[in-house]
Amino acid sequence: MWQYTLRRLLVSVMVAFTVSVITFSLLRMAGDPAVALAGEGASMADIERIRVEYNLDRPALEAYWDWVTKALQGNFGRSFNLNADVSQLIAERLPVTFYLSSLALLFALGLSLPLGILAGLKPNSLIDRIALTISVVGQAMPTFWFGLILMIWVGLRWGLLPISGNEGFASYVMPAIVLGYYVTPVLLRLTRAGIIDAMSSDYIRTARAKGIGMTAVVFRHALRNAMIPVVSLAAVQFGFLLGGSIIVESVFSVNGIGLLAWQAIQRSDFDVMQAVVLVASAVYILLTFLADLLNAMLNPRLRTGLQ
Amino acid sequence: MTTSVDATTFNSGMVTDPLADQNDSAPPSAWRAVLRQTAMVAGIVALIAIALLALLAPWLTSYDPYSGDLTQRYLPPVWHSAGTWEHVFGTDGQGRDYFCRLLYGARISLIIGVSTTLISGLIGTSLGVLAGYFGGKVDALITFIITTRLSMPVTLVAAVVASLMGSSLHTVIAVLGLLLWDRFAVVSRSAVQELRSLEYVTAARALGCSNLRVIFTQILPNVSQFLLVVLTIEMAHAILLESALSFLGLGVQPPLPSWGLMIAEGKSQMLFKPWLITIPGVCLFVLIMAISLVGDGLRDMSARKSTR
């Protein structure tokens, strides 16, 4: 187990390093940030001043090293527009996005686990058809549009929930549903497939033959095995939600890192963009690392490298 | 299996079969098979209809998608009490015919879907086939590249890069094409790994066929059924992402009639003129649904073929 953990950790660090290089170079290659930062109608002197201030006059390698060492110490530079340290902005906004993503995942699991289990136990039944419809519709629904439709009906017409902001639990309900429904289809299908697989396996047949009741079999044996991939997928999806939050947070004006990123993009706030991409990737890498460890603990075959 | 230790170092949860969650391991039943087939046919019909509407747009409407009559702003659609047949879906804030803009908008979605998947399919399949066929160090390297790509949040990266490069239709295609190749790579990699050890591939090699020849004549034709399924998934993904980016103002720019952009433009009026956002949204939904139905059908067909 230790060997596996170490090996996996090494890979994660290498991936994180590569991501930081890519993030850095992507943003440099995509245009002259000094010109974008200076805004329209800036003089050459202005652009030159910004170039020096943002280390853009230095060789790329040197500038990268400077950026990444500072980032590792928690210094992501400064936001011009919001006049604050980027690290402080991220520290303020990240908990909001975490909270939203957790609620979204809770909603997704709350919908997909019971439905997936029931659908898996009775394939081709009415409940299976309902589950199928929910997942097909979820796949085809544009998130931002679903958000607007909820806003019109639940928020404005019926006045049940606030339509924007992040004051209190109620304002998180609609964004969480929209974000959560986005990941529901994958979780639902995986749960259903897992249950069908488990129920047709030998150990379930043995358990049933011993005379153990259906409920006990499902809860004690089938679920345990079917849940392993779902748990690790859920962890991965959580990281995915962080990246997807840019859409939902912009629609509902939830003040998390997604909205921060969107505002930064609109105002060419360079340091913020870099930092948000890096932080979101880092969270994803950490989560998949933990999910893999959990998987390896639950499934010893993975540890030995035999897939 | 001759995968080396290097390659299995990355047996991470991310690089497992991404179609696994969609596999339908339910016992086959008659009604389900029929339903799936009907659904696929419906999907194909809808896709052809949308493509025809997009292609024939100039003959189907006499309006201009880019300029409108400012005296005819925000006219309601025909089912509304004040609607007229002159503007079936009404007009937008600049007096442009909504139906006309929807038709031209379909072109944008289809262009995005096709060109993005062409780029990403080429990149992903090349990487996946190389990794699966050669194994060892090549596999280790490519698996690492895939893992790295998966660690970068697509929506966020696409939004940042597209805006820095200057948002336009071309930028969106380039950015999404360079980002959405991961599933192609993962699926072709694992499919080729299985194929590589099969007898006819060994036979072809024993006959002295070059690697390139084996890949093109023996491997690719047998991977294509899986790649076709991935193609539908990524096409839907690309179209949804384009609409989201355009909605955020970071994708296709006005006056182009992207459906996502139309929703963004209608947003300020959405409470009293909900059709402005409902209609383009339904169009997106129908297009994505049609593509996924075709994908589901193709997946069923390839699953049945492999169990036979």
By the 8 A CB rule, do A300 and A15 touch?
no
A31 pLDDT band, cuts 50/70/90, is low
User: Residue B14: what pLDDT?
Assistant: 39
| B94-144 pLDDT per residue, tens | 889 999 999 999 999 999 999 999 999 999 999 999 999 998 999 999 999
Nearest to A104 by CA among A190, A189, A162, A175: A175
B282: in domain: yes
Q: Answer with the residue of higher pLDDT: B129 or B73.
A: B129
pLDDT at A38: 66
Nearest residue on chain A to B239, alpha-carbon basis: A142
User: Per the domain annotation, does B268 fall within a domain?
Assistant: yes
**Cα–Cα distance, A283 to B187 (Å, whole number):** 25
Question: How much is the average pLDDT of A191-201?
Answer: 87
Any CB–CB contact under 8 A between A18 and chain B? yes
Q: Which residue has the tokens 């999910």?
A: A291
**Is residue B12 less than 8 Å (CB to CB) from chain A?**
yes
Region A173-199 average pLDDT: 90
Residues A31, B166: C-beta atoms closer than 8 Å = yes
Residue B90 lies in a domain: yes
> A139–B153: do the CB atoms touch at under 8 Å?
no
Whether A284 contacts chain B with CB within 8 A: yes
Confidence of residue B177 (pLDDT cuts 50, 70, 90): very high
Q: How many domains is chain B partitioned into structurally?
A: 1
The parent domain of residue B136 ranges over: 61-307
Is B37 among the domain residues? no
CA-CA distance, B239 to A25, in Å (whole number)? 27
Contacts of B109 (CB under 8 A, 6+ apart): B239, B242, B243, B258, B259, B284, B287
Q: Name the residue with higher pLDDT: A207 or B181.
A: B181
Q: Do B22 and A280 touch (CB under 8 A)?
A: no
Residues 123-152 in B contacting A (C-alpha not used; CB under 8 Å): 144, 147-148, 150-152
Q: What is the pLDDT of residues A35-85, one digit of tens each?
A: 666 666 677 777 777 777 766 677 778 888 888 888 888 888 888 778 888
Which distant-in-sequence residues (6+ apart) come within 8 Å of A184 by Cβ? A107, A108, A111, A112, A134, A135, A138
Task: Note whether residue B36 is domain-resident.
Answer: no
pTM as predicted = 0.89
Q: Please give the full DSSP string across chain B, using - where no structure is assigned.
A: ----HHHHTT--GGGS-TTGGG---SPP-HHHHHHHHHHHHHHHHHHHHHHHHHHTHHHH--S-SS---GGGTTPPPTTSTT--TTSTT-B-TT--BHHHHHHHHHHHHHHHHHHHHHHHHHHHHHHHHHHHHH-HHHHHHHHHHHHHHHTS-HHHHHHHHHHHT--SHHHHHHHHHHHTTHHHHHHHHHHHHHHHTSHHHHHHHHTT--HHHHIIIIIHHHHHHHHHHHHHHHHHHHHHHHHHHHHTTSSSPTTS--HHHHHHHHGGGTTT-THHHHHHHHHHHHHHHHHHHHHHHHHHHHHHHHH-
Q: Is the pLDDT of residue A136 over 70?
A: yes
Mutate to test the interface with B, among A14, A15, A37, A101 (most CBs of B within 10 A): A15
> Which CATH number characterizes residue B254's domain?
1.10.3720.10
Q: Is A247 in contact with B10 (Cβ distance < 8 A)?
A: no
Question: Using CA atoms, how far apart are residues B281 and B246, in angstroms rounded to an integer?
Answer: 13
B8 touches A at CB < 8 Å: yes
Q: Judge whether B143 lies within some domain.
A: yes
Q: Within a domain: residue B280?
A: yes
Q: Is B149 part of any domain?
A: yes
B37 touches A: beta carbon within 8 Å? no
Q: What is the ipTM of this complex?
A: 0.88
- CA–CA distance from A152 to each of A160, A174, A252, B77 (Å)? 11, 11, 12, 18
CB contact under 8 A, B165 and A30: yes
Picking from A189, A246, A292 by the largest number of B CB atoms within 10 A of its own CB, the best residue to mutate is A246
Q: Does A6 touch chain B (CB under 8 A)?
A: no
